[in-house]
Structure 1
């Protein structure tokens, strides 16, 4: 892949400790929710695949688009109180969608797919950047 394509998918910075930890936690949550309680836990692979594809699109090209970059910059500029309000709104909307709009099996499986893409994205970012931002080697 040439660098123009990679810029459309990954940020122009090395991944941070927070990125790596978030990727690991997301992968762990995807595994936890994808395997417990088993068997007969209602996994539907077509919905998981849809969530995976949607997550990849949002993490990559959408986040690196001018609108995505503007939203990211606005989010970083928010105060702690404003971030808490935004998180409360997102949680409320998510709960309404999960309980009223979408059947539980669809919402749960799409969520697993979205969580599952995050570690792959972080690994790809590390490979492309070839470094970890803010991490020092032992001297």
Structure 2
């Protein structure tokens, strides 16, 4: 898994409209890259809407927000439209980004083992260096903006 002090990869992926999103797109800005398991599930919806509701606070502090999950562009467009999310969502259908970040792997739930995405947020400085990582056990989906902004 990427660690504090590591640099994010340059190519992050393609968003809901097929646009390539690169780390260099955010040069000079801080970035919140939040990785979530699945569009339109209760936890992911609460997390995304909490970030949406605090979006202007993030902008005022110089942050851009980008979400990412392994759903496709169509699913992301539907999720964005339904909840009026003002930030892009990366459609990591090939699991390249989640694998490179180390946030995809075996999950155990209800006695079953499956492969899945670990809810993780990377807070990145203006140079693309990870300053903080909030992992699955740290994130409170309904208070996530406050956890990041303090």
TM-score normalised by structure 1 residue count: 0.25
Give the number of the structure with larger relative contact order, counting CA–CA contacts within 8 Å between residues 6 or more apart: 1
Structure whose alpha-carbon radius of gyration is higher = 1
- Structure with a larger share of its residues in helix: 1
